């Protein structure tokens, strides 16, 4: 029954209903009517028989059989019946058979009603008469002692009934009508269920399309009010799914934005340890990773240790703790990698790896290590010297006082060198501590330079070096920190005097440069080799000039580093041009650019 369509069920149901409602009453009425008709016909036949018998007995009858036949024929016509008189089984007269045909009639002694009559009863038989081509009721009775009539059997036959024929016709008519009604009701059921079925099919297809992901679709029309709860449920379900979906899409979008906006590279591995997804930052860490979806970690990163860790984490089973490692990539970038296992909705174990760029941290750590090593190294030499001379003075003091003075001078020189270096380191630390940009205020650079020249005039005189202030007359207003600028020019002038040959000159000039003021300290010293032009601004970097060895002049290689840091914190630039005299390959010019105070005013909004 499950596989029957609603339409077929309706058709079969209607047919069965018609059968159940129409057949029993029809059968009942047919039977009752038929029974009544038969009883009535039998009564009429018996009454007819009585009447004919009475007539035969009461009125004289001709002995001539021809006359008898003629009388019975007239009587039969009047009474509307067939009257037959049978003697010894032979028909002697019959109202419906011409006299000349009577001898050819079959013997009637064997007829059931005749035999019953011969037995002394009123015989009765209903039979189809081939002579009259209709059903007849035959009643027969033995007749004794009728007037002038030989004893025999009187038989009367009347048609069962016209009603019975009508009943038969009605029966076949009813059968036809029944078939037609079934056919008609089937057609009505077929056509009346068409719109219903169409609506149901439409409803089902909308529900199916919602199920396939078109959550914005709704069922608007339905076959009947009975379907309303179902339709409301489906529409409600679609609405809820649509809302949850949009929430999920929104959350996914936000997560993706976070995922791709992260500075850290993120790589997600599937349960087989293959790359499943990654974020944008990872593409900068591993260029070309876009083509490596589905690849193993070793294929994508060429890092066997990463591959091993991912596989270990996946195979570890229930352990939820992750692992952390550091790795260096081929381009000298350092990464801290955090690998954390997790379970996906299917319960499979997967791994997410986060790559955190620690290159800068590593670089700073290296700088710190180098710095400490350099400082220790720089301090170690003078300290060893001081310690050595001091021990000599204590354990075996020199006999001559001049020698003692030489020892003490050496100790003092080394102590001065250390003091200078510690001071330089403090200045460097201070400028570092101040951060990138210094608070700038208008400063007269000309005044600062004049002061620096004054401070170093004795040193210059000692070497017979002429200091030339070639700046234009009047103040030179720049933006800066006075102390910082003083430190810069003292260092530059000090170096220029230190490395210049005796009798030469050191000059200070100024010229505009790319919208700023470039101040220049020029000397006629040994100059700076091409390869060292950038490096002299690094901490502890020194050039060994044969004329002026670092060991002798106490150079620690920090002065220019301090200058660069201060100038950078002023938003300026520092560089060296050398040689100034191509013929001799000598001379150096140190440039430092500074913002002019007017320019800043001009930049300020009104
Ligand atoms: P320090 O503070 O010890 O003098 P600097 O950082 O100032 O060290 O200088 C670094 C190196 O640059 C020095 O060792 C020196 O060899 C070289 N240098 C600096 N100024 C000059 C210059 N005017 N002429 C030649 N060499 C110089």
Q: Report the 3 state secondary structure along 545-603.
A: ECCECHHHHCCCCCHHHHHHHHHHHCCCCEEEECCCECCCCECEEEEEEECEHHHHHHH
Residue-wise pLDDT tens digits, 283-316: 988 888 899 899 999 998 888 999 999 999 998 8
**Could you tell me the two tokens for 115?**
């035999």
Is 96 in contact with 76 (CB distance < 8 Å)?
yes
The three-class DSSP label of residue 64 is coil
CATH value at residue 373? 1.10.287.130
Is 322 in contact with 340 (CB distance < 8 Å)?
yes
Task: Ligand 1: list residues with CB < 6 Å.
Answer: 491, 495-496, 499, 523, 525-526, 528, 536, 541-543, 545, 550, 555-561, 588
Place of tokens 């040193």: 459
Mark whether 26 and 69 lie in a shared domain: yes
Is 483 in contact with 570 (CB distance < 8 Å)?
no
CATH value at residue 467? 3.30.565.10
- pLDDT, residue 2, reads 59
Place of tokens 């979008």: 253
- pLDDT, residue 546, reads 76
| H runs (alpha helix) in 212-348 | 228-261, 280-285, 297-301, 304-315
Residue nearest to atom 17 of ligand 1 (CA): 543
Phi, psi of 94 (to 5 degrees): -150, 125
**Average pLDDT score over residue span 20-34:** 84
The Cα–Cα gap between 460 and 275 comes to: 70
Residue nearest to atom 23 of ligand 1 (CA): 496
**Could you tell me the two tokens for 440?**
């700038």
Element (H or E) spanning 417, and its range? helix 401-434
Query: At residue 606, does pLDDT exceed 50?
Result: no
Query: Under 8 Å CB-to-CB from 209, ≥6 apart: which residues?
Result: 217
Place of tokens 């630390």: 429
Task: Give strand pairing partners of 421.
Answer: none
Phi, psi of 111 (to 5 degrees): -65, 140
Best residue among 492, 536, 558 to mutate for probing ligand 1, ranked by most atoms within 8 Å of CB: 536
**Average pLDDT score over residue span 318-347:** 87
- pLDDT, residue 161, reads 65
The domain total for the chain is 5
**CA 536–ligand 1 middle distance (angstroms):** 7
Residue 187 maps to a domain = no
The Cα–Cα gap between 569 and 78 comes to: 152
The three-class DSSP label of residue 14 is helix
Counting other chains too, the contacts that 404-411 makes at CB distance below 8 Å and 24 or more residues apart are 410/385, 411/385, 411/386
Closest ligand 1 atom number to CA of residue 494:
4
- pLDDT, residue 221, reads 77
Residue nearest to atom 16 of ligand 1 (CA): 543
Mark whether 100 and 162 lie in a shared domain: yes
- Residues 70, 72, 78, 81: what is their CA dihedral angle, to the nearest 10 degrees? -130
Residue 208 maps to a domain = no
Residue 270 maps to a domain = yes
**CA 542–ligand 1 middle distance (angstroms):** 6
Three-state DSSP string of 85-127: EEECCEEEEECCCCHHHHHHCCCCCCCHHHHHHHCCCCEEEEE
Q: In what order do the strands lie in the sheet with 82-87?
A: 90-94, 82-87, 152-159, 134-143, 123-129
**CA 560–ligand 1 middle distance (angstroms):** 7
Domain boundary residue among 153, 168, 183? 168
The Cα–Cα gap between 525 and 547 comes to: 10
Closest ligand 1 atom number to CA of residue 521:
23
Mark whether 304 and 381 lie in a shared domain: no
Three-state DSSP string of 176-239: HHHHHHHHHHHHHHHHHHHHHHHHHHHHHHHHHHHHCCCCCCCCCCCCCHHHHHHHHHHHHHHH
The Cα–Cα gap between 307 and 240 comes to: 43
Place of tokens 């021990």: 391
Query: Under 8 Å CB-to-CB from 385, ≥6 apart: which residues?
Result: 410, 411, 414
Residue-wise pLDDT tens digits, 380-409: 888 999 999 999 999 988 889 899 999 999
Mark whether 268 and 313 lie in a shared domain: yes
Mark whether 337 and 240 lie in a shared domain: no
CATH value at residue 58? 3.30.450.20
**CA 528–ligand 1 middle distance (angstroms):** 9
Phi, psi of 577 (to 5 degrees): -115, 130
Mark whether 412 and 554 lie in a shared domain: no
Mark whether 271 and 324 lie in a shared domain: yes
**Could you tell me the two tokens for 326?**
């550091």
Task: Give strand pairing partners of 91.
Answer: 86
- pLDDT, residue 128, reads 83
Mark whether 160 and 112 lie in a shared domain: yes
- pLDDT, residue 443, reads 94
Mark whether 402 and 536 lie in a shared domain: no
**CA 479–ligand 1 middle distance (angstroms):** 26
**CA 418–ligand 1 middle distance (angstroms):** 17
Among candidate residues 462, 490, 457, the one with its CA nearest the CA of residue 566: 490
Q: How confident is the model at residue 602 (pLDDT cuts 50, 70, 90)?
A: very low
Residue nearest to atom 20 of ligand 1 (CA): 495
**Could you tell me the two tokens for 233?**
């449920």
Q: How many CA atoms lie within 13 A of 271 on its CB side?
A: 8
Residue nearest to atom 2 of ligand 1 (CA): 559
Mark whether 78 and 153 lie in a shared domain: yes
Residue-wise pLDDT tens digits, 268-287: 999 999 999 999 999 988 88
Residue-wise pLDDT tens digits, 160-169: 766 667 777 8
Percent of the chain, pLDDT > 90? Answer: 38
Is 350 in contact with 343 (CB distance < 8 Å)?
yes
Q: Is beta strand 505-513 parallel, antiparallel or unpaired with respect to 466-469?
A: parallel
**CA 54–ligand 1 middle distance (angstroms):** 175
Domain boundary residue among 296, 330, 357? 357
Among candidate residues 505, 487, 509, the one with its CA nearest the CA of residue 496: 505
Phi-psi region of 419 (alpha: psi -120 to 50; beta: other; left: phi over 0): alpha
| Domain ranges, residue 83 | 7-168
Is 138 in contact with 91 (CB distance < 8 Å)?
no
Residue-wise pLDDT tens digits, 59-107: 766 667 788 888 889 889 988 888 999 988 899 888 888 888 888 888 8
- pLDDT, residue 603, reads 47
Residue 119 maps to a domain = yes
Residue-wise pLDDT tens digits, 541-552: 888 877 766 656
Residue 537 maps to a domain = yes
**CA 118–ligand 1 middle distance (angstroms):** 169
Mark whether 331 and 385 lie in a shared domain: no
Mark whether 276 and 409 lie in a shared domain: no
**Could you tell me the two tokens for 61?**
């009858």
Domain boundary residue among 406, 427, 448? 427
Arithmetic mean of pLDDT over the chain: 87
């Amino acid at each position: 029954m499950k596989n029957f369509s609603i339409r077929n069920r309706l058709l079969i149901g209607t047919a069965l209903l018609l059968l159940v409602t129409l057949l029993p009453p029809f059968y009942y009425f047919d039977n009752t009517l038929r029974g009544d008709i038969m009883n009535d016909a039998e009564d009429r036949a018996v009454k007819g028989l009585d009447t004919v018998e009475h007539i035969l007995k009461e009125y004289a009858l001709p002995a001539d059989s021809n006359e008898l036949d003629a009388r019975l024929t007239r009587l039969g016509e009047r009474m509307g019946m067939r009257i037959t008189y049978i003697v010894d089984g032979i028909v002697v007269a019959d109202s419906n058979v011409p006299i000349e045909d009577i001898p050819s009639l079959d013997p009637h002694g064997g007829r059931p009603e005749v035999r019953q009559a011969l037995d002394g009863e009123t015989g009765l038989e209903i039979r189809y008469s081939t002579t009259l081509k209709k059903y007849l009721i035959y009643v027969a009775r033995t007749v004794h002692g009728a007037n002038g009539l030989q004893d025999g059997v009187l038989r009367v036959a009347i048609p069962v009934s016209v009603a019975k024929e009508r009943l038969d016709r009605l029966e076949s008519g009813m059968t036809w009508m029944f078939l037609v009604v079934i056919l008609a009701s089937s057609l009505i059921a077929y056509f009346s269920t068409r719109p219903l079925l169409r609506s149901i099919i439409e409803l089902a297809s909308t529900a199916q399309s919602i199920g396939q992901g078109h959550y914005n679709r709704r069922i608007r029309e339905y076959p009947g009010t009975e379907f309303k709860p179902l339709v409301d449920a489906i529409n409600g379900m679609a609405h809820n799914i649509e809302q949850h979906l949009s929430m999920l899409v929104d959350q996914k979008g936000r997560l993706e934005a976070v995922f791709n906006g992260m500075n850290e590279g993120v790589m997600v591995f599937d349960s087989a340890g293959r790359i499943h997804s990654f974020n944008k930052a990872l593409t900068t860490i591993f260029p070309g990773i876009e083509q490596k979806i589905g690849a193993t970690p070793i294929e994508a990163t060429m890092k066997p240790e990463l591959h091993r860790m991912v596989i270990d984490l996946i195979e570890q089973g229930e352990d939820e703790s992750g692992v952390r490692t550091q790795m260096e990539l081929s381009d000298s970038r350092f990464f801290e990698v955090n690998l954390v296992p997790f379970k996906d909705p299917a319960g499979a174990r997967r791994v997410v790896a986060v790559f955190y760029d620690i290159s800068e941290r590593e670089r700073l750590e290296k700088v710190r290590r180098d710095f400490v090593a350099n400082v220790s190294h720089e301090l170690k030499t003078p300290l060893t010297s001081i310690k050595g001379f001091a021990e000599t003075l204590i354990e075996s003091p020199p006999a001559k006082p001049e020698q003692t003075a030489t020892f003490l001078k050496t100790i003092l020189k080394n102590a001065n060198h250390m003091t200078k270096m510690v001071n330089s380191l403090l200045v460097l630390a201070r400028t570092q501590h101040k951060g990138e940009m210094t608070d700038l205020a208008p400063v007269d650079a000309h005044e600062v330079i004049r002061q620096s020249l004054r401070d170093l005039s004795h040193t210059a005189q000692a070497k017979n070096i002429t200091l030339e202030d070639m700046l234009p007359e009047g103040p030179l207003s720049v933006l800066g920190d006075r102390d910082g600028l003083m430190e810069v020019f003292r260092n530059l002038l000090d170096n220029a005097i230190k490395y210049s040959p005796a009798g030469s000159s050191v000059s200070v000039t100024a010229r505009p440069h790319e919208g700023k003021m470039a101040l220049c300290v020029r000397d006629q010293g040994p100059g700076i080799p091409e390869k060292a032009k950038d490096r002299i601004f690094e901490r502890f970097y020194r050039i060994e000039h044969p004329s002026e060895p670092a060991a002798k002049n106490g150079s620690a290689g920090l002065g220019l580093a301090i200058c660069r840091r201060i100038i950078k914190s002023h938003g300026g630039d520092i560089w060296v041009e050398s040689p100034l005299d191509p013929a001799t390959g000598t001379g150096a010019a140190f440039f430092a650019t500074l913002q002019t105070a007017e320019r800043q005013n001009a930049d300020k909004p009104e």
